[in-house]
């Protein structure tokens, strides 16, 4: 065996890189994961939490496709909550505070247990490219590794510039070295490069915080789980979070320090996320607010360090100290690491195909923060897709990416490659037009069978999934055949009115106020919680889901038409210059994707359809 | 092609021309629409004489129904044609009835587009189809702008803003549950929903009653001063609305008259003669005239003939060419040569398509009316302001339906995500009038309204 030849090479060992490597290896490709530092595999470089609104949806989809993130979060989570538990199931989400060390260990164990996957600690300095095709990579020691597919997941390491007050230095995240040679090399290629910014709060020694008088926020009991394979027994000891607030004095201190803020003196060019502003941003933009929440998140069970979520800042260190000390409970706080802002390069994601392969270099894939996203979950989701497609390309199989109606992963990638992004992109449920279908509770029903077909899902997961699917179908059948007669006191109490006729259990479960548990008890039926839940949600949402399904079918049939690569939009009769330019920029792969580009009108879509039909019939273009 | 596609409807015949109007329906719902409107499914390709009924069973019109099952139809899909006696009002009621049964208004050129995509039209016609879609959609865009003028536009934008405001609260509560902005629990959302429902009702009532029928075709008389525009207008309307004198520049302001030509509501507009003037009042009149010309469906360019037998058209031809050049390229014009009474003999050298009339004697006026009808009828297939407005009303009604559904779900179980779903559909319907509002636009509004983020 040639030790420098692989099927797939993954560059970077963050959340994108590890999922990419695991996916390619699960499919059966000989895979090499190159990282600057094996000790930091699975490192959470920002806040120590996995999941949350929109994000746990991604985590469970990754899990449904056999990924690692949910399993690791269950082994490392020290505080779990279900968010939006009193709202509907479509917007419910799970969040875990994770012990950083336990999370790293869990990810490392999963990687080391994976067949076909080799680890190697080396920085990557260059890419081997021949005739527009990637051939491999060159490392810092000058070692060459060959592969027909390479996935770059280099995060914020590209052109990283760290700001603390007016002081700045080059660097990657959390003290790691920046990859400037690779950044330079990539800048020479025809990719469009942009600049983004993100930041972190100062970390604090928990022993110096006065927790008396702070509001405690315990996790849920019983703690929910992330993975469809977990039952909660994986969870380590659970600990609470705490909440405190900034006050007017904090805000005065921040205002007085703005003349030394890189954000407000023009030092920082990169665009930061609107939904994750620094504390100085919040104080300036929402001057009328007299306080802002801070979530005090434990960093782990074996460290006293805490992460004060809500005061991300790039103010000078002396201002950071003063502002921290002005906050209730932090009067004596000792800062262990200063907060900072980091600017970094990202590559215009509209240069990517839905497989996450770059348009300019065949076999080269980009995943994670390099594509302008933020968040571990968003990175992991892209890593999974890039890893799958790198493997599929090597095996001569067609690329795969879930549709917007199948998964949040599909929404994420379609948004990126169609609309691009001007700020670090984060998932929200409001981005998904099929929100009622794309729930965290049914990610397995949406994706596991597909994952099984692609070789991503192992026997144990498949068996568990099949059993659950069977139980759901069985319960649904039983509930549609069992009836309850009018006059049943328990049911009428739930309904708040007498029953006019006999109803099946399935009809009753659709009614507001009727609980599936009560119905099963009356009908003498039993089923595990996750099975009841699916039957209940399916029934309660039925009307809405049917309507969304109609939308999905309509759009698929109208917009599924493939646009062949290399389509010359100058030949499409009647298109305005503006629309033509946009189409050339994005190079959509289907008419549906074209229709989602802003400014592309229904008339333009019609013109495109007519043109494609004509081209196909006259054979001027090969059909894709 | 288009197996799960939607069903489209449009009036297929020229507006108001002739005694028969055809409403064409194409798509999978054609069959069920036939049963609902005509009472039963006609035998394929046989004409059936029947009443077209509204939702309450009352007859809208009586006529012929023809059913062409796929693939043997114009579009290659199931097609239903309803041939009625209708003027535009009846045709419009029939279209509304079909929309109520689940069809949507066809986009310009969409029947031909479907026919092409289903191999019903020869490939050699692809260019022609592309041109049709292109020209018809820019025409429709212009008409949509006209429909959206004034108070109606303000009302629609006000409703849109109202929907956005509620969505900001509802979506923020769901996407940012830890931000102390949970509005679903408090009464605010309920109150705002109530007020928005009221506003929807008012706007829709205003837009459907009268407004729809008061719109119609705009015909503007334009020309140099003293060409006889006012006399001509009085002749055509049969009323004495415009002041007529021999003094050039008598008409200073816009004069309106509403008439019906074969059931088409027509707004005739007399304007100040176009010339450079130092008189500020006349200059204002000219400015207003230019505004009217800009939104006209048909511009009647009026030019006076001269008394010279050899050169009866005289400077009139240059005048007409100058005026034509000053108008937008794509505006539809009709050249009228007035004062035929001054010329005693038949004359040669007339521009093709010109109408010769005498406002004084009434000579040629009937012919002019016919020409006007032909010209407005020519817009068929491409939608006028009239149908643009009805499309807008349909969008408003759809939006209201979604709002009402969301409201009742919210009242029932305070389920935010179902309310959010209906509000999204509501906004999507309004977006057909006011333009697309993306999820990123919504997030932008949330972030500028609330301080969000850890």
CA neighbor of B12 nearest in space, from B154, B103, B112: B112
Residue A120 has pLDDT above 80, yes or no: yes
Highest mean pLDDT range out of A71-80, A82-91, B97-106?
A71-80
CB-based contact (8 Å) between A423 and chain B? no
Q: Write the DSSP string, B208-271.
A: IIIIHHH--EEEEEEESTTSSHHHHHHHHHTS--S---SSTT---S-EEEEEEETTEEEEEEE-
Which residues in chain A have Cβ-Cβ distances shorter than 8 Å to B109? Answer: 606
CB-based contact (8 Å) between A553 and chain B? yes
pLDDT of residue A516: 86
Quote the CA–CA distance of A485 and A473 in Å, as a whole number.
Answer: 24
Cβ-nearest to B417 among A88, A553, A610: A88
CB-based contact (8 Å) between A374 and chain B? no
CB-based contact (8 Å) between B124 and chain A? no
Q: Tell me whether residues A554 and B6 touch, CB distance under 8 A.
A: yes
Q: Is residue B1 part of a domain?
A: no
Final residue before a domain boundary, out of B94, B121, B148: B121
Q: Is the Cβ–Cβ distance between A469 and A487 less than 8 Å?
A: no
Q: How sure is the predictor about A2, in pLDDT bands with cuts at 50, 70 and 90?
A: low
Whether residues B155 and B105 share a domain: the answer is: no
Q: Tell me whether residues B440 and A47 touch, CB distance under 8 A.
A: no
CB-based contact (8 Å) between A620 and chain B? no
Pairing of strands B264-270, B255-261: antiparallel
CB-based contact (8 Å) between A91 and chain B? yes
Whether residues B78 and B161 share a domain: the answer is: no
Distance from CA of B432 to the nearest CA of A (A): 11
Q: Is residue B127 part of a domain?
A: no
Whether residues B275 and B359 share a domain: the answer is: yes
Pairing of strands A483-484, B59-68: unpaired
Residue A430 has pLDDT above 80, yes or no: yes
Residue B279 has pLDDT above 70, yes or no: yes
Q: Is residue B14 part of a domain?
A: yes
Q: Is the Cβ–Cβ distance between B170 and B423 less than 8 Å?
A: yes
CB-based contact (8 Å) between A598 and chain B? yes
- Give the chain A residue nearest B178 (alpha carbons): A83
Question: Span A575-589, mean pLDDT?
Answer: 88
Q: Tell me whether residues A613 and B117 touch, CB distance under 8 A.
A: yes
Which residues in chain A have Cβ-Cβ distances shorter than 8 Å to B179? Answer: 293
Distance from CA of B182 to the nearest CA of A (A): 10
Hey, which residues 96-115 in chain B have their CB within 8 Å of chain A?
Answer: 107-110, 113
Which residues in chain A have Cβ-Cβ distances shorter than 8 Å to B416? Answer: 87-88, 91
pLDDT digits (tens, 9 = 90+) for B4-24: 478 999 887 765 445 678 899
Q: How sure is the predictor about A145, in pLDDT bands with cuts at 50, 70 and 90?
A: very high
| CATH at B168 | 1.20.120.430
Length of chain B: 454
pLDDT of residue A3: 73
Whether residues B223 and B207 share a domain: the answer is: no
Which residues in chain B have Cβ-Cβ distances shorter than 8 Å to A54? Answer: 175
Chain A interface disruption, residue of B28, B171, B417, B429, most A CBs within 10 A: B417
Quote the CA–CA distance of A578 and A598 in Å, as a whole number.
Answer: 11
Quote the CA–CA distance of A551 and B226 in Å, as a whole number.
Answer: 59
| CATH at B316 | 3.40.50.300
- Give the chain B residue nearest A308 (alpha carbons): B454
Cβ-nearest to A428 among B123, B418, B443: B443
Q: Is residue B202 part of a domain?
A: yes
Residue A470 has pLDDT above 70, yes or no: yes
Cβ-nearest to A429 among B175, B415, B444: B175
Q: Is the Cβ–Cβ distance between A57 and A309 less than 8 Å?
A: no
Q: Is the Cβ–Cβ distance between A428 and A54 less than 8 Å?
A: yes
Quote the CA–CA distance of B212 and A79 in Å, as a whole number.
Answer: 61
Q: How sure is the predictor about A117, in pLDDT bands with cuts at 50, 70 and 90?
A: very high
Question: Span B98-103, mean pLDDT?
Answer: 88
CB-based contact (8 Å) between A54 and chain B? yes
Q: How sure is the predictor about A131, in pLDDT bands with cuts at 50, 70 and 90?
A: very high
- Give the chain A residue nearest B115 (alpha carbons): A610
Residue A241 has pLDDT above 50, yes or no: yes
Least confident of B104-118, B151-165, B179-193: B179-193
Q: How sure is the predictor about B3, in pLDDT bands with cuts at 50, 70 and 90?
A: very low
Whether residues B226 and B371 share a domain: the answer is: yes
pLDDT of residue A6: 98
Length of chain A: 624
Hey, which residues 272-291 in chain A have their CB within 8 Å of chain B?
Answer: 273-277, 282, 285-286, 289
Q: In what order do the strands lie in the sheet with A340-347?
A: A167-170, A161-164, A340-347, A193-200
Distance from CA of B122 to the nearest CA of A (A): 10
Quote the CA–CA distance of B237 and B359 in Å, as a whole number.
Answer: 12
Final residue before a domain boundary, out of B356, B375, B394: B375
Distance from CA of B3 to the nearest CA of A (A): 7
Chain A interface disruption, residue of B27, B171, B178, B453, most A CBs within 10 A: B453
Question: Span B85-110, mean pLDDT?
Answer: 80
Q: Tell me whether residues A512 and B413 touch, CB distance under 8 A.
A: yes
CA neighbor of A451 nearest in space, from A369, A529, A392: A392
What ipTM was predicted for this assembly? 0.86
Residue B213 has pLDDT above 60, yes or no: no
Question: Span B407-428, mean pLDDT?
Answer: 88
Question: Span B354-368, mean pLDDT?
Answer: 85
Cβ-nearest to A84 among B3, B177, B436: B177
Cβ-nearest to B174 among A84, A276, A513: A84
pLDDT of residue A426: 95
A250 vs B330, residue with greater confidence = A250
Question: Span B159-173, mean pLDDT?
Answer: 92
Q: Is residue B450 part of a domain?
A: no
Q: How sure is the predictor about B117, in pLDDT bands with cuts at 50, 70 and 90?
A: confident
Domain count, chain B: 3
Tokens for B114? 């479907």
- Give the chain A residue nearest B428 (alpha carbons): A433
Residue B161 has pLDDT above 70, yes or no: yes
In this structure, the dihedral spanned by the alpha carbons of residues B341, B347, B352 and B355, taken in order and rounded to 10 degrees, is: 10
Place of tokens 């050249």: B335
Hey, which residues 432-451 in chain B have their CB within 8 Å of chain A?
Answer: 436, 438-440, 442-444, 447, 451
Q: How sure is the predictor about B326, in pLDDT bands with cuts at 50, 70 and 90?
A: confident
- Give the chain B residue nearest A543 (alpha carbons): B418
Whether residues B311 and B180 share a domain: the answer is: no
Question: Span B183-201, mean pLDDT?
Answer: 85
Residue B249 has pLDDT above 90, yes or no: no
- Give the chain A residue nearest B172 (alpha carbons): A430
Q: How sure is the predictor about A511, in pLDDT bands with cuts at 50, 70 and 90?
A: confident
Cβ-nearest to B129 among A53, A513, A610: A610
Q: How sure is the predictor about B380, in pLDDT bands with cuts at 50, 70 and 90?
A: very low
Residue A623 has pLDDT above 60, yes or no: no
pLDDT digits (tens, 9 = 90+) for A347-363: 999 999 999 999 999 99
Question: Span A472-481, mean pLDDT?
Answer: 93
Whether residues B225 and B363 share a domain: the answer is: yes
Question: Span A110-123, mean pLDDT?
Answer: 96
- The CB density around residue A294, as the number of other CB atoms within 10 Å, is 25
Q: Name the percent of chain B lying above pLDDT 70.
A: 76
Q: Is the Cβ–Cβ distance between B10 and B112 less than 8 Å?
A: no
Q: Is the Cβ–Cβ distance between A241 and A298 less than 8 Å?
A: yes
Whether residues B407 and B366 share a domain: the answer is: no
CA neighbor of B67 nearest in space, from B88, B106, B36: B36
Whether residues B232 and B310 share a domain: the answer is: yes
Q: How sure is the predictor about A498, in pLDDT bands with cuts at 50, 70 and 90?
A: confident
Q: Is residue B50 part of a domain?
A: yes
Whether residues B234 and B338 share a domain: the answer is: yes
Residue A245 has pLDDT above 50, yes or no: yes
Residue B381 has pLDDT above 50, yes or no: no
Pairing of strands A8-11, A149-152: parallel
Place of tokens 């060409």: B227
Cβ-nearest to B453 among A275, A557, A558: A275
Residue B211 has pLDDT above 70, yes or no: no
pLDDT of residue B265: 66
DSSP annotation of A5: B
Q: Is residue B46 part of a domain?
A: yes
| CATH at B73 | 3.30.1360.120
B349 vs A269, residue with greater confidence = A269
Residue B311 has pLDDT above 70, yes or no: no
Within its chain, how far is the Cα of A129 from the centroid? 30
Size of interface A-B (CB pairs under 8 A): 144
pLDDT of residue B85: 76
Q: Name the percent of chain A lying above pLDDT 70.
A: 97
Hey, which residues 147-206 in chain B have their CB within 8 Å of chain A?
Answer: 171, 173-180, 184
Sign of CA dihedral A535, A536, A542, A544: negative
The separation between the first and the last C-alpha atoms of chain B, rounded to the nearest angstrom, is 49
CB-based contact (8 Å) between A431 and chain B? yes
Q: How sure is the predictor about B1, in pLDDT bands with cuts at 50, 70 and 90?
A: very low
Final residue before a domain boundary, out of B121, B155, B189: B121
Question: Span A476-488, mean pLDDT?
Answer: 89
Whether residues B320 and B412 share a domain: the answer is: no
Q: In terms of residue numbers, what domain contains B54?
A: 8-121
CB-based contact (8 Å) between A243 and chain B? no
Q: Is residue B444 part of a domain?
A: no
CA neighbor of B26 nearest in space, from B1, B46, B47: B1
Whether residues B179 and B252 share a domain: the answer is: no
Chain B interface disruption, residue of A574, A579, A595, most B CBs within 10 A: A574
pLDDT of residue A22: 98
Q: Is the Cβ–Cβ distance between B7 and B30 less than 8 Å?
A: yes
Q: Which residues have C-beta within 8 Å of that of residue A446, sequence separation ≥ 6? A: A61, A64, A406, A407, A437, A438
Q: Tell me whether residues B440 and A419 touch, CB distance under 8 A.
A: yes
Highest mean pLDDT range out of A482-496, B175-189, B419-433?
B419-433
Q: How sure is the predictor about A265, in pLDDT bands with cuts at 50, 70 and 90?
A: confident
Distance from CA of B119 to the nearest CA of A (A): 9
């Amino acid at each position: 065996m040639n030790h420098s030849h692989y099927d797939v090479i993954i560059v970077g060992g963050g959340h994108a890189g590890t999922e990419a490597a695991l996916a390619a290896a699960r499919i059966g490709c000989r895979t090499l994961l190159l990282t600057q530092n094996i000790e930091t595999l699975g490192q959470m470089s920002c806040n120590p939490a996995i999941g949350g609104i929109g994000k746990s949806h991604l985590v469970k989809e990754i899990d449904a496709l056999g990924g690692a993130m949910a399993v690791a979060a269950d082994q490392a989570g020290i505080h779990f909550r279900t968010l939006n538990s009193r709202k509907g199931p479509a917007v419910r989400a799970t969040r875990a505070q994770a012990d950083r060390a336990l999370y790293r260990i869990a990810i490392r164990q999963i990687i080391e247990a994976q067949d076909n996957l080799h680890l190697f600690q080396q920085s990557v300095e260059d890419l081997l490219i021949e005739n527009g095709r990637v051939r491999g990579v060159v490392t810092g020691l000058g070692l060459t590794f060959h592969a027909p597919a390479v996935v770059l997941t280099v995060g914020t390491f590209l052109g990283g510039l760290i700001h603390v007050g007016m002081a700045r230095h080059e660097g990657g995240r959390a003290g790691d070295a920046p990859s400037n040679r690779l950044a330079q090399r990539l800048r020479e290629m025809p990719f469009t490069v942009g600049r983004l910014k993100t930041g972190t709060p100062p970390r604090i020694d928990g022993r110096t915080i006065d927790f008396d008088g702070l509001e405690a926020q315990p996790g849920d009991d019983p703690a929910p789980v992330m993975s469809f394979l977990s039952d909660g027994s994986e969870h380590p000891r659970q600990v609470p979070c705490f909440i405190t607030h900034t006050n007017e004095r904090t805000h005065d201190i921040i205002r007085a320090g703005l003349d030394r803020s890189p954000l407000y003196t023009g030092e920082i060019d990169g665009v930061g996320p609107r939904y994750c502003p620094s504390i100085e941003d919040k104080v300036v933009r929402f001057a009328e607010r007299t306080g802002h929440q801070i979530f005090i998140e434990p960093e782990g069970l074996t460290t006293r360090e805490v992460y004060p979520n809500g005061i991300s800042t790039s103010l000078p260190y002396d201002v950071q100290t003063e502002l921290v000390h002005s906050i209730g409970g932090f009067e004596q706080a000792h800062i262990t690491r200063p907060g900072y802002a980091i600017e970094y390069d990202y590559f215009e994601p509209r240069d990517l195909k839905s497989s996450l392969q770059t348009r300019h270099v065949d076999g080269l894939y980009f995943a994670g923060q390099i594509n302008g996203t933020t968040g571990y979950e968003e990175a992991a989701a892209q890593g999974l897709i890039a890893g799958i497609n790198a493997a599929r390309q090597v095996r001569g199989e067609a690329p795969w990416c879930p549709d917007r109606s199948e998964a949040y992963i599909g929404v994420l990638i379609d948004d990126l490659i169609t609309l691009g992004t001007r700020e670090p992109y984060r998932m929200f449920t409001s981005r998904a037009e099929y929100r009622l279908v794309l729930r965290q509770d049914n990610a397995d029903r949406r994706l596991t069978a597909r994952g099984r077909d692609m070789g991503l899902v192992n026997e144990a997961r498949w068996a568990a999934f099949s059993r659950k699917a069977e139980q759901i179908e069985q319960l649904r059948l039983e509930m549609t055949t069992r009836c309850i007669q009018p006059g049943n006191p328990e049911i009428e109490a739930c309904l708040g009115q007498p029953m006019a006729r006999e109803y099946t259990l399935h009809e009753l479960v659709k009614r507001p106020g009727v609980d599936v548990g009560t119905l099963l008890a009356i009908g003498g039926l039993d089923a595990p919680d996750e099975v009841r839940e699916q039957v209940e949600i399916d029934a309660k949402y039925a009307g809405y889901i049917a309507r969304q399904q109609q939308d999905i079918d309509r759009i698929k049939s109208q917009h599924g038409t493939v646009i062949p690569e290399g389509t010359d939009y100058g030949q499409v009769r009647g298109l305005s210059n503006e629309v033509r330019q946009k189409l050339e920029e994005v190079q959509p792969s289907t008419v549906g994707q074209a229709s989602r580009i802003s400014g592309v009108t229904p008339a333009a879509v019609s013109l495109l359809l007519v043109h494609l039909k004509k081209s196909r019939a006259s054979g001027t273009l090969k059909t894709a | 092609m288009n197996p799960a596609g939607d069903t489209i409807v449009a009036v297929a015949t020229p507006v108001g021309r002739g005694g028969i109007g055809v409403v064409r329906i194409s798509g999978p719902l054609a069959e069920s629409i036939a049963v609902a409107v005509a009472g039963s499914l006609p035998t394929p390709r046989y004409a059936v004489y029947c009443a077209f009924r509204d939702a309450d069973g009352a007859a809208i019109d009586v006529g012929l129904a023809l059913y062409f099952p796929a693939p043997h139809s114009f579009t290659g899909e199931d097609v239903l044609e309803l041939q009625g006696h209708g003027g535009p009002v009846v045709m419009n009621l029939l279209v509304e009835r079909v929309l109520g049964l689940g069809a949507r208004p066809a986009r310009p050129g969409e029947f031909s587009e479907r026919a092409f995509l289903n191999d019903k039209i020869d490939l050699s016609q692809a260019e022609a189809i592309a041109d049709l879609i292109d020209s018809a959609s820019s025409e429709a865009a212009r008409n949509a702008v006209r429909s959206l003028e004034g108070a109606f536009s303000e009302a629609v934008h006000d409703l849109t803003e109202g929907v956005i405001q509620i969505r900001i609260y509802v979506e923020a509560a769901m996407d940012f549950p830890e931000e102390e902005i949970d509005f679903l629990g408090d009464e605010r959302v309920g109150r705002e929903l109530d007020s928005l429902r009221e506003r929807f009702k008012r706007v829709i009532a205003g837009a459907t009653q009268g407004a729809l029928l008061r719109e119609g075709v705009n015909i503007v008389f334009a020309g140099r001063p003293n060409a006889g525009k006012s006399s001509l207008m009085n002749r055509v309307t049969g009323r004495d609305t415009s002041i007529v004198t021999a003094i050039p520049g008598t008409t200073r302001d816009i004069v309106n008259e509403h008439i019906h030509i074969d059931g088409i509501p027509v707004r005739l507009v007399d304007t100040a003669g176009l010339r450079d003037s130092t008189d500020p009042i006349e200059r204002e009149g000219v400015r207003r005239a230019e505004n009217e010309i800009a939104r006209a469906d048909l511009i009647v360019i009026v030019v006076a003939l001269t008394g010279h037998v050899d050169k009866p058209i005289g400077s009139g031809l240059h005048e007409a060419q100058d005026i034509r050049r000053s108008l937008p390229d794509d505006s539809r014009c009709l050249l009228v040569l007035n004062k035929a009474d001054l010329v005693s003999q038949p004359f040669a050298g007339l521009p093709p398509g010109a109408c010769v009339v005498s406002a004084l004697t009434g000579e040629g006026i009937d012919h002019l009316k016919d020409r006007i009808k032909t010209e407005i009828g020519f817009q068929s297939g491409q939608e006028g302001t009239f149908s643009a407005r009805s499309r807008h009303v349909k969008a408003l009604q759809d939006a209201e339906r979604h709002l009402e559904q969301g409201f009742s779900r919210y009242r029932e179980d305070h389920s935010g995500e179902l309310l959010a779903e209906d509000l999204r559909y509501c906004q999507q319907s309004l977006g057909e009038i006011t333009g697309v509002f993306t999820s990123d636009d919504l997030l932008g509004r949330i972030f500028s309204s609330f301080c969000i983020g850890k």
